[in-house]
Structure 1
Amino acid sequence: MKETKEQRELILPGSRPEIRKIDGEPTKIIGYAVRWDQLSNPIFGMFREKFKRGAFTASLINPDVYASWQHDAREVLGRTPNTLQLVEDEIGLRYEITPPSWAEKYIETIERGDVRGSSFIFRALVEEWDETNAEMAIRTISEAELYEVSPVTTPAYPQSTVGIRSAEEVYQERPQSNEADDEATYTEEEIDMIMLEHELRMMNLKI
């Protein structure tokens, strides 16, 4: 069983978190951390992935998951089972956060549309790899353990060598064919180049 924790972002049309305000009820932050069978963008140029419907069913039986602002552990917005609700529906993994009063500034940021999507931290438990695609391997995750969800302002994978190394570790641990995959290991120079290309893409998105 893999021990690697991974972080992903969902930045797609219609994936922005929303604020729900109903008279007499607490304010809610609502969004989707995962959309089923939605193929990701290339992950550090190594592979693409998607989650099958129900991938988190077992993880949600007795969850201990928290929601934070941009993955900052000092700014916890909610936690299961009281101030964070997680539901798998026909679209994906939906979250509802009941934020504390000090998070009002973040509620305003979401209402203005400054928050582009959601991020989540997970550990894959059951997965399949399809390497018949000539361009890039496809990873399909059918069961995973969820640790954290987070509204995020920037559509980015973790901008660090740690993020690249974890993706490389996952890629290296996939079931191998008889042919050795010598090109999968990244040198420090290649990691620097991946990070530079990633930062340039992020700059273009912000323009």
Structure 2
Amino acid sequence: MPETKPEIRKAEGEPTKIIGYAVRWGQLSHLIFGMFQEKFERGAFTEALQNADVYASWQHDSREVLGRTPGTLQLFEDDLGLRYEIQPPSWADKHVETIERGDVRGSSFIFRAVKEEWDETGEIAIRSVTKADLFEVSPVTTPAYPQSSVGIRSAEDTFQSRPKPPGRDDTDEATEKRAAAMLDFDMRLKKLDL
């Protein structure tokens, strides 16, 4: 996922804050399971943030909630992307330290696309999310899409449910390559389970 390094802000008489960007506008994600890349258009979360009930967690672990809207988590859309500011609880000092030391450098998020556009004119299909719901933001060690079989099916379903360009069917060479990449990825996961 697009990300920027989270930072710690400590000001005299103010609570410590974890600040980062969950999303950077217009930046392409890594290749998602060999099928497509993704980017977010500016303002994709504007509507969702009006009545947001979003939480921030450590490493996407809902047992370690760092903040929640409204109050201890603030979310802003600015010129760069979707910025978050978390006022973490005191038990999270160990997490604050890992960010200060540079051990944790990424940010991630959980969302649901409401409106999207697909561009399949190049070698790799690109999904542009223009409107999305937001559920969570998270400082993470390795920002990426979930690597579980549920995540793989979700990514495949997203790709397969996209509007198909005229004259394109799912038996073309690119689709065959994507299917081969999925099979290879499934085999790697099975080997890891052994």
* 1:137-148 correspondence runs (5 A): 137-148=125-136
Mapped partners of 2:49, 2:58: distance in 1: 21
- Quick check: 1:34 aligned with 2:34? no
Shift of 1:154: 1.9
Deviations 1:84-130 (A, max 9, x none): 00000000000000000000000000000011210100000111001
Shift of 1:186: 4.2
Deviations 1:18-46 (A, max 9, x none): 00000111000000000001111111110
Mapped partners of 1:194, 1:168: distance in 2: 17
Mapped partners of 2:49, 2:90: distance in 1: 27
Shift of 1:194: 6.4
Mapped partners of 1:137, 1:195: distance in 2: 24
* 1:1-207 correspondence runs (5 A): 9-11=1-3, 15-133=4-122, 135-177=123-165, 178-182=167-171, 183=175, 186=179, 189-193=183-187, 195=189
Q: Secondary structure at the match of 2:50?
A: coil
Amino acid at match of 1:26: P
Mapped partners of 2:121, 2:19: distance in 1: 37
Which blocks of at least 5 consecutive residues in structure 2 are unaligned? none
Please, what TM-score do these two structures have when normalized by structure 2?
0.89
Identity %: 68
Mapped partners of 2:96, 2:137: distance in 1: 16
Please, what TM-score do these two structures have when normalized by structure 1?
0.84
Contact (CA 8 Å) 2:108, 2:144: kept in 1 or not?
no
Contact (CA 8 Å) 1:67, 1:78: kept in 2 or not?
yes
Shift of 1:155: 3.6
Deviations 1:142-171 (A, max 9, x none): 100000000001243312111111100100
Shift of 1:189: 3.7
Q: Secondary structure at the match of 1:59?
A: helix
Q: Secondary structure at the match of 1:58?
A: helix
Deviations 1:41-87 (A, max 9, x none): 11111001111100000000010000000110100000001000000
For this pair of structures, how many residues does the alignment match? 185
Mapped partners of 1:150, 1:57: distance in 2: 19
Deviates more, 1:100-109 or 1:175-184: 175-184
Which blocks of at least 5 consecutive residues in structure 1 are unaligned? 1-8, 200-207
